[in-house]
Amino acid sequence: MIITLENRFFSLRSAVCFIIEGGIIMFSVVASFLLLYGRAGTPVVSMGDVVARALVITFFCQSCMYLLDLYNFRLSQTWGELLFALAIAIGFVCIGIGLLSYAIPKFGVAGKMYYLSILIASVCLLLWRLAFELYITRYASHENILIVGTGEVARHVGEEIRKRKRLGFHLVGFIDGPPAKTNPSAGRVGEVLGDPAQMDRIIRQHGVDKIVVAITERRGEYPVKEMLALRVKGCQVVEWPGFFEKLSGRIPIDSLAPSFFIFNDGFRKSKILLSIRRGVSAIFAAVYLVLLLPLFLIVAGFIKLDSPGPVIYSQIRVGQNGKRIRIYKFRSMRNDAEKDGNAIWAVENDPRITKVGRFLRKTRIDELPQLFNVLIGELDFVGPRPERPEFVEKLQSLIPYYALRHTVKPGITGWAQVMFHYGSTIDESKEKLQYDLFYIKNMSLKLDLLILFHTFKIVLLGRGAR
């Protein structure tokens, strides 16, 4: 089952899994206490203390599981990956309990209870996850989806559905266009079940819950009569751009008509929202600049020791409405990285990146000087990342709708940064643009908080730019 909230999909399964696993961990701690000390006349700790410690352990354990994406059902995971992630989470919990017991000796009382509770929780979590994964992939009710169309757009929509079986989607198949307009490459999309005239039978036969119309050319090809009859009968019919957006968290730009942006119910910018964002951003930027000053000095020292050159590096980027702005970063590359003066995209394992710079990029500490840009109003905390003018000029000529990302103020982090890796090619820049457009269409304080939360996870695990 999928919950729609402000045009974004969240899985009820994640919430159910989170609640049940919290109960399993709590049960494991209390059960271990009862097994070890239940018959003792005077237990080493009271039941109230046990419950309090169980809450601490549960919070720490589920935080580790969240950081390892064990509650992200948008990801496809093999059994091996699932077991490995669970083992890593349990390992972190063991280390955390050890450190906490060392720092707070009182917490370390009844140490046997912790070891037994970890053992019980590990076995129970493993059995639960295996059963849960088996249930949602084989036995849980799915939303059966039928795609009308067999072209390139239909293929992309089908691929997105197949990637997200864990969210409760099942692709029934495809409906071909009229015989005169049959796509010769239709077989590549998957099983073509018939043509529009057969849809009524196909829907009843396969228990279709939703029809996704993935036909870009309407004139002479759109099955109006069949769609109208099905819609009146109560069948849910949606167009592919909106469905794709909600499913993937990005707006597809290939085969998308300008009318989507013109008439779509989105892209609204509340003046109150923008004023609140500006005020909050300025206050937090000022506070963080003061609080992080010691870290800035430490980073500056490491940069100086690692390689010659300035500590702070500045670049001209394209800001809101195409305005040129100068942003500041901790230098993470050699001082002669662009000695010929030409802008060069960073690539994976870029030899120009210094040893300290690689760490700064992974943790995104190199971006912290841009708090000054936020303070003076050139950047926000959240927004599309500003690109260099040389890249923007090239990308605008090659990628449709690229200029739309400059309609809002750029940010230190963004939806594209938390959902996609660093882009260093035209195709990757196109992919990032789709996430940026999704953010621009759905801008809200809640979405900003979600992005900041995911950014914190990326920084903590060192999953930043390469």
- Give the pLDDT of residue 187: 45
Distance from C-alpha of 364 to C-alpha of 289, rounded to nearest angstrom: 16
pLDDT at 40: 58
Q: What is the mean pLDDT of residues 101-107?
A: 74
Torsion of CA 447, 449, 455, 456, to 10 degrees: -160
End-to-end alpha carbon distance in the chain = 36
pLDDT at residue 94 in the model: 83
Highest mean pLDDT among 175-179, 265-269, 410-414: 410-414
Q: Does 466 score more than 60 pLDDT?
A: no
* 265 φ, ψ (degrees, to nearest 5): -85, 80
Q: Which residues of 96-135 are buried (b: 16+ CB within 10 A; e: fewer)?
A: bbeebeeeeeebeebeebbebbbebbbebbeeebeebbee
Contact assessment for residue 124 and residue 90, using Cβ atoms and an 8 Å cutoff:
no
Bigger pLDDT: 180 vs 344: 344
Retrieve residue 375's tokens.
Answer: 């303070």
The stretch 221-240 carries a mean pLDDT of 84
Of 192-206, 319-333, 361-375, the one with minimum mean pLDDT is 192-206
Pairing of strands 2-5, 8-11: antiparallel
CA-CA distance, 157 to 213, in Å (whole number)? 10
Greater pLDDT, 310 or 456? 310
pLDDT band at 63 (very low <50, low <70, confident <90, very high): confident
In this prediction, residues 191-211 reach a mean pLDDT of: 89
User: Which of 6-10, 157-161, 317-321 has the highest average model confidence (pLDDT)?
Assistant: 317-321
Residue 27 in tokens: 């049960």
pLDDT tier, 257 (very low <50, low <70, confident <90, very high otherwise): confident
DSSP string for residues in 252-298: --TT--THHHHHSS-----HHHHHHHHHHHHHHHHHHHHHTHHHHHH
Is the per-residue pLDDT at 405 higher than 90? yes
State if pTM tops 0.75.
yes
Q: What is the pLDDT of residue 75?
A: 62
Please check the confidence at residue 463 and state whether its pLDDT lies above 70. no
Q: Is the pLDDT of residue 380 over 60?
A: yes
Q: Where are the beta strands (DSSP E) in 90-235?
A: 143-148, 169-175, 192-194, 210-213
Is the model's pLDDT at 411 over the cut of 60?
Answer: yes
| Average confidence score pLDDT of the chain | 83
**Tokens 């799915």 correspond to what residue?**
142
pLDDT bin (cut points 50, 70, 90) of residue 71 is confident
Domain-by-domain residue ranges, the chain? 2-139, 143-248, 271-336+343-461
Per-residue model confidence (pLDDT) at position 319? 96
Q: Please write the tens of the pLDDT for every residue from 261-306.
A: 888 878 888 888 788 889 989 999 999 999 999 999 999 999 999 9
Q: How many CB atoms lie within 10 A of CB 166?
A: 19
Q: DSSP code of 35?
A: H
Task: Name which of 3-7, 219-223, 232-236 the model is least confident about.
Answer: 3-7
Position 188 scores a pLDDT of: 54
Predicted local confidence at residue 202, as pLDDT: 92
pLDDT tens by residue, 5-56:
333 434 677 888 899 999 999 999 889 888 887 765 556 667 888 888 889 8
From 164, 153, 163, select the one nearest 174 (Cα to Cα). 153
- CATH number at 143-248: 3.40.50.20
Q: Which tens digit of pLDDT belongs to each residue from 85-103? A: 888 888 888 888 878 777 7
| pLDDT score, position 216 | 77
> What pLDDT is stored for residue 88 in this prediction?
83
Alpha-carbon gap, residue 443 to 40, rounded angstroms: 58
**Residue 428 identity:** E
Q: What average pLDDT does this structure show over 163-183?
A: 71
What is the mean predicted confidence (pLDDT) over 412-428?
Answer: 87
For range 118-122, the mean pLDDT: 90
Per-residue confidence (pLDDT) for residue 76, from 0 to 100: 58
Helix axes 47-67, 111-134, angle to 10 degrees: 50
Segment among 105-114, 174-183, 445-454 with least mean pLDDT? 174-183
Higher confidence at residue 323 or residue 423?
Answer: 323
Neighbours of 171 (CB within 10 A): 22
Report the pLDDT value the prediction gives residue 182, as an integer from 0 to 100.
45
